[in-house]
Amino acid sequence: AQSVAQPEDQVNVAEGNPLTVKCTYSVSGNPYLFWYVQYPNRGLQFLLKYITGDNLVKGSYGFEAEFNKSQTSFHLKKPSALVSDSALYFCAVRDIIGGGYNKLIFGAGTRLAVHP
């Protein structure tokens, strides 16, 4: 079965420092991977995705993610964290079962806290 793991419940970073939020996946075939962010009392906002092509994907708000097939990872990164980046981050993989309807399977989420 397809699955996503986010091994860290929380990541603490000082403002201005680089941040990494980890994600590993388990899928059959080629993965379609996504990162979403959830601010308090808000919905899920799409950040970036990997479908195919360049392993380094750039997304919204200065975030990027690196697809690593050998390590089955898709870690989210940002060179310089902002306090406003503090939120809940979800990694997701597209399920390949179900034909073209393809639900998303989410990780448990990682809370990012950026301290001034």
Partner 1 sequence: EPEVTQTPSHQVTQMGQEVILRCVPISNHLYFYWYRQILGQKVEFLVSFYNNEISEKSEIFDDQFSVERPDGSNFTLKIRSTKLEDSAMYFCASRSGQRGVETQYFGPGTRLLVL
> Could you list the residues that contact partner 1 (CB under 8 A)?
32, 34, 36, 42-46, 49, 51, 90, 92, 94, 98-109
Using alpha carbons, list the distances in angstroms from residue 57 to 9, 12, 78: 23, 23, 12
Smallest gap, in angstroms, from Cβ of residue 35 to partner 1? 11
Q: Minimum CB separation from partner 1 for residue 98, in Å?
A: 4
Q: Which is nearer to partner 1, 29 or 116 (CB)?
A: 29
Shortest spacing between CB 17 and partner 1, in angstroms = 27
Smallest gap from Cβ 77 to partner 1, in A, equals 20
Please list the residues that pair with 76 across neighbouring strands.
21, 65
Question: Is residue 87 within 8 Å of residue 71, measured between CB atoms?
Answer: no
Decide whether 45 or 84 has the Cβ nearer to partner 1. Answer: 45
Burial of 67 (0-12, 13-18, 19+ CB in 10 A): buried
Place of tokens 């601010």: 39
CB 19 within 8 A of CB 114: yes
Considering beta carbons, is residue 25 or 36 the nearer one to partner 1?
A: 36
CB closer to partner 1, 82 vs 104: 104
